Amino acid sequence: MNLKGLLNSTTIADRILLFILILLSLSGIIFIKEVLPKGHIVWIEVNGHPVYLLPIEKDRIVSVNGSEGNTIVEIKNHKVRITESPCDNKLCIQQGWIEKGSIVCLPNRVVVIVGTPEDELNKRVDAITG
């Protein structure tokens, strides 16, 4: 039986069923998109002030102006690392690639955090008293 024959042999009920199945699968896609967590972001702060908010999906290299000079942050394959830093101990560079968590360069006051946007919201305060 060829495709035309197959289509001809369907009843209205079959077609409605097919249509409904397509609808169901589409709504499933929307459902998953809404419910599953969104991708991680790379949050870069200098002296406690956010300077970059980058998606981890896009590979790039950014230069961050810290209190001692420029820190170079590289994002590649959903991972982040510091490649250059003006600090003495270079601990931040030694830490290498991270997928989650943070890299802190205390001398240059640069903080790189990888997390979901919701995590970042929790870090900030909702109001200040005083």
Partner 1 sequence: MKNKFNVHPPQRTKFNVLIFIFLLFTVHYSLFTLYGCASQKENVYRKSKILMDTLVTITVVSSSKDSAEKAIDTAFSEIEKLEKLFNFFSPESELSLINKNAGISEVKVSQDTLDILDKTLYVSEKTEGAFDATIGPVITLYDFYKKVKPEDSSIKKKLSLVNYRYLMIDRNKSTAFLKKRGMHIDLGGISKGYAADKAVETLKRNRIHSGLVSVAGDIKAFGLKPDGRPWKIGIRNPRAKGQEDDIMATIELTDTAISTSGDYERSFINDGKRYHHLLNPRTGYPAEGCQSVSIITKECAFTDAFATGIFILGPEKGIKTLEKMGFDGVIVDSQGKVHTTPHIRGKVEFKRSS
Q: Which residues bind partner 1 (CB under 8 A)?
A: 11-13, 16-17, 20, 23-24, 27, 30-31, 34-35, 118, 121-122, 124-130
Q: Output 14 or 59, the one with its CB closest to partner 1.
A: 14
| Nearest CA among 91, 75, 95, 73 for reference residue 83 | 73
Q: How many CA atoms lie within 13 A of 26 on its CB side?
A: 6
Q: Output 7 or 23, the one with its CB closest to partner 1.
A: 23
Torsions phi, psi for 102 (to 5 deg): -145, 160
Q: Please report, to the nearest 10 degrees, the dihedral formed by the alpha carbons of residues 64, 68, 69, 72 taken in order.
A: -50
Q: Output 31 or 97, the one with its CB closest to partner 1.
A: 31
Torsions phi, psi for 93 (to 5 deg): -70, -40
CB 102 within 8 A of CB 113: yes
